[in-house]
């Protein structure tokens, strides 16, 4: 992976030069890992040309073992600007007395206080937003990254099938999720799923039965779940699962940092006919979008097609949430984080490219009754797609 990380830095440098930006300061854990292979606390400085350096506060020893780029002990932060000026003397001297250097930083995740500290020690620098630059680089997955996601899909499939053997009336959502979490943890799940969005969190996913699944939440997804209370207002509750009601099992797994995201709909016994029909519409939408998954297809057009199909089915009011809590997307990129680019939504004009990985999740929400739908994760290939999700499809009806 060392060579791959160095190639990532080279691609970043190419884009910095194209945008006439002198350097990039990377501080967020996931981005640090993506470029260096280490998640130790510090600052990765990537000049537009020349050697990148990882300035580490702690642990320097571990960073030296892990990092693909040169590691420097950060030392006093007050001296950080001076040290950069010495190590990159040609870069700083080229700026001259009357002009500032342009450095990019991850404005989407960099705290204002931290940016102000950087501004104080580097007064000769103009800071610009480099978050899109980095997220677009991370949007295209390598063979090694895809291998991790495939393994996560395998583990989730094992956990799903194992969970079905334990599911029974009266079991709480929390009990069902606990079994899944134990299963995937044994197989190497790191114990969390990372999100980039501000104030957004995801646990292992969301399991919701009946009306609990349809309870709206701050979580930016079509199904939030009742949760364990106001302090965790999403995902599972202590509500007992009943016969016949839809059980939405939106679960993920993170192996070696990379996530899979999938949803299946289950019930103990036969469900209501109208909910089953809505579920079948979700599969119809997914199949239609699959037929469009090829390089060059535009992300927002895939979303618009899903809206048309939901309207034709008479289910627009229930598609991807309900009322004011409907979300405005059909799918999202996954990788080191669960909310990566591209997004299948209006305003996202990215054409699909080989190496993109997208979770597509057509779902229908019925307040007071539940949520039904399906979600698969896909890798875009040179001539179409690879379905990374391996779990069986269809509404799974378990016999009582």
Q: Which of 112, 138, 164 is the last residue of a domain?
A: 138
**Which segments of 61-158 are extended strands (E)?**
70-73, 101-105, 125-129
Q: Which of 117, 138, 159 is the last residue of a domain?
A: 138
111 shares its domain with 175 = no
H helix or E strand, kind and range, residue 98: none
Q: Which structure tokens are listed for 303?
A: 């979303």
284 shares its domain with 392 = yes
pLDDT at 184: 98
In a structure prediction context, what are the per-residue pLDDT tens digits for the chain, which is 400 residues long? 899 999 999 999 999 999 999 999 999 999 999 999 999 999 999 999 999 999 999 999 999 999 999 999 999 999 999 999 999 999 998 776 678 999 999 999 999 999 999 999 999 999 999 999 999 999 999 999 999 999 999 999 999 999 999 999 999 999 999 999 999 999 999 999 999 999 999 889 999 999 999 999 999 899 999 999 999 999 999 999 999 999 999 999 999 999 999 999 999 999 999 999 999 999 999 999 999 999 999 999 999 999 999 999 999 999 999 999 999 999 999 999 999 999 999 999 999 999 999 999 999 999 999 999 999 999 999 999 999 999 999 999 998 7
125 shares its domain with 167 = no
119 shares its domain with 150 = no
| CATH number where 40 lies | 3.40.350.10
129 shares its domain with 166 = no
149 shares its domain with 67 = no
213 shares its domain with 348 = yes
| CATH number where 388 lies | 3.90.230.10
Q: Which of 138, 166, 190 is the last residue of a domain?
A: 138
Domain that holds residue 42: 2-138
pLDDT at 97: 64
198 shares its domain with 326 = yes
DSSP class per residue in 253-265: EEETTEEEEEEEE
323 shares its domain with 365 = yes
Angstrom distance (rounded) from CA 48 to CA 356: 25
159 shares its domain with 245 = yes
pLDDT at 96: 66
Query: How many folded domains does the chain comprise?
Result: 2
Angstrom distance (rounded) from CA 179 to CA 160: 10
217 shares its domain with 349 = yes
């Amino acid at each position: 992976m060392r060579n791959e990380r160095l190639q990532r830095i080279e691609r970043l440098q190419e884009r910095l030069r194209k945008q006439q930006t002198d350097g990039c300061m990377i501080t967020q854990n996931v981005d640090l890992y993506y470029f260096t292979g280490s998640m130790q606390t510090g600052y990765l400085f990537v000049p537009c040309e020349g050697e990148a350096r990882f300035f580490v506060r702690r642990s320097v020893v571990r960073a030296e073992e892990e990092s693909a780029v040169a590691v420097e002990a950060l030392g006093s932060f007050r001296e950080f600007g001076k040290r950069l000026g010495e190590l990159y003397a040609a870069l700083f001297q080229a700026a001259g007395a009357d002009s500032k250097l342009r450095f990019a930083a991850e404005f989407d995740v960099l705290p204002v206080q931290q940016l102000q500290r950087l501004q104080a020690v580097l007064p000769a620098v103009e800071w610009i937003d480099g978050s899109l630059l980095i997220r677009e680089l991370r949007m295209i997955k390598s063979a090694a990254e895809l291998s991790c996601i495939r393994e996560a899909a395998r583990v989730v499939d094992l956990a799903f099938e194992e969970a079905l053997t334990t599911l029974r009336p009266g079991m709480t959502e929390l009990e069902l999720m606990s079994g899944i979490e134990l299963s995937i943890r044994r197989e190497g799940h790191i114990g969390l799923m990372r999100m980039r969005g501000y104030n957004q969190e995801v646990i292992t996913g969301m399991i919701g039965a009946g009306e609990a699944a349809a309870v709206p939440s701050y979580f930016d997804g079509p199904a939030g779940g009742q949760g364990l209370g106001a302090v965790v207002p999403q995902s599972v509750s202590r509500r007992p699962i009943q016969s016949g009601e839809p059980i939405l099992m939106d679960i993920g797994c993170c192996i070696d940092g990379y996530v899979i995201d999938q949803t299946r709909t289950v019930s103990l016994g036969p469900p209501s006919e109208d909910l089953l029909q809505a579920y079948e519409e979700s599969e119809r939408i997914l199949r239609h979008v699959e037929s469009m998954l090829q390089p060059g297809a535009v992300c927002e057009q895939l979303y618009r097609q899903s809206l048309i199909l939901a309207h034709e089915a008479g289910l627009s009011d229930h598609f991807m949430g309900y009322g004011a809590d409907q979300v405005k997307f059909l799918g999202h990129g996954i990788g080191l984080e669960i909310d990566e680019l591209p997004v299948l939504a209006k305003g996202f004009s990215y054409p699909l490219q080989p190496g993109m990985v997208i979770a597509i999740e057509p779902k229908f929400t019925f307040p007071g009754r539940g949520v039904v739908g399906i979600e698969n994760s896909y890798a875009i290939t040179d001539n179409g797609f690879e379905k990374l999700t391996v779990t069986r499809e269809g509404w799974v009806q378990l016999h009582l």
